[in-house]
Amino acid sequence: MADGCSSIREELKPILDLVESKAHAADKLRQPDLEVIKKLAESDLLNLLVPREYGGRGEPLSVLVEFSETLAFSHGSTAWVAMTCNEEAGIAAAYLPPENLKDLWSRQPDVIIAGSGVPHGRAHKVEGGWELSGRWNFVSGCTSSDKWILNSIVQDSSPLQLCFALLNADYSLIEKTWFTSGLRGTGSNDVVLHNHFVPYDSVGVVANHSLPIPETPFYRLPSGLRFPFPKTGIATGLAFRAIHEFKKLCGTKKPLNSKLELRNRPDASAAIAKAEALVRSGKAWVTETLHDVWASVAAGSEVTSERHALARLACSWSVQNSVAAVELITLSAGSSSNFETSPLSQLAADIRAVAGHFTVGNYQIDTAGRVLLGLDSDDRSF
């Protein structure tokens, strides 16, 4: 896994200058830069989780984590969109007819797929396919994608069935709702459909909690463990960038009424030391737990409830550590971090947005603790 992580960093190097040059405009416009997203797709970097037999790269999840961290150091919003596009492509490969997807990636290897795996729609069967109605929010990258994968509940199904539909992106169906302070450049708007027709060959209907079709290690992870890990990569990338920006500030700033430059003040040295310790310790625990659960599923074993809980705990704890690290740094930076022109200001807003995601939210710590005490998790994804 380490070799794959090193390789992905090298693959990203030629693209990072472009990412940084477009970052400000993406945040201002509240949508991803299309040139950047297309460059990532053309570089074979938006199909990392798609099985190789489908035309994807079939990388270990650790590679997506490293990919997300490396991109987030350059721009958090671009990293978030690239991460979610990889995840949504993985969702499409999980449940749609394999031969149809193989044909898609053969014809269009650089296809960009955004979407939502949360079943916020209703699907009912009609002649030749399905009609979807609903509102899917937080569809990151919806304005820069070729296709959307959207999850719906099959109308009147009992037991519950889910309908995963892959449809051509239609930007007229986007409702602009993404007016946030953090991760502004993701363009995570709402997609709204009303009786939208999707043909049979672009749909996968499965029972709730069904195992995905591919049998690679990623798809044998419990559903609740497929998506928290990459968010930790975004958080650590943002935190490492905050540390980098703080070092630069320390070399130039002399605080008001202080005889010492910022870098010579004890509060600055303590802040950066604690920040490094927080971020690196959280990342180390994530790396350890991901290795453990990946080894289990690769060997054909189930992930125990305790190991699952520890993995979820590691992800949430790591993200909270990264948030705390950025908070330490921005406090030590003083009023400099208050301005919109300060990189620390946007980094602080971005990392709070990451921490708000339900897969790594602070409440996951309590959920993990309940499982470790032998109690019911009160979480359907456990």
pLDDT score at 340: 84
Q: At what angle do helices 305-333 and 266-298 cross, to 10 degrees?
A: 160
Structural domains of the chain in order of their starting residue, each with its CATH number = 2-107 (1.10.540.10), 113-207 (2.40.110.10), 221-372 (1.20.140.10)
User: How far, in Å, CA of 225 to CA of 146, rounded?
Assistant: 27
Long-range own/partner contacts, residues 27-30 (CB < 8 A, 24 or more apart): 27/77, 27/184, 27/185, 27/346, 28/184, 29/185, 30/176, 30/178, 30/179, 30/184, 30/185, 30/187
User: How far, in Å, CA of 106 to CA of 104, rounded?
Assistant: 5
Residue 102 burial (CB < 10 Å; 0-12/13-18/19+)?
middle
Q: Where on the phi/psi map is residue 11: left (φ > 0), alpha (ψ -120 to 50), or beta?
A: alpha
User: How far, in Å, CA of 181 to CA of 346, rounded?
Assistant: 8
pLDDT score at 1: 42
Asked if 79 contacts 185 with a C-beta cutoff of 8 angstroms, the reply is no
User: How far, in Å, CA of 15 to CA of 74, rounded?
Assistant: 10
Longest dimension (CA), the chain: 78
Distances (CA, A) of 28 to 34, 61, 165: 14, 31, 32
Residue 32 burial (CB < 10 Å; 0-12/13-18/19+)?
buried
Distances (CA, A) of 74 to 10, 168, 240: 14, 30, 10
Q: Mind listing the pLDDT tens digit of every residue in the chain (382 residues)?
A: 446 787 999 999 999 999 999 999 999 999 999 999 999 999 999 999 999 999 999 999 999 999 999 999 999 999 999 999 999 999 999 999 999 999 999 999 999 999 999 999 999 999 999 999 999 999 999 999 999 999 999 999 999 999 999 999 999 999 999 999 999 999 999 999 999 999 999 999 999 988 899 999 999 999 999 999 999 999 999 999 999 999 988 887 666 666 678 777 888 899 999 999 999 999 999 999 999 999 999 999 999 999 999 999 999 999 999 999 999 999 988 888 888 889 999 999 999 999 999 999 999 999 999 999 999 988 877 7
Asked if 152 contacts 162 with a C-beta cutoff of 8 angstroms, the reply is yes
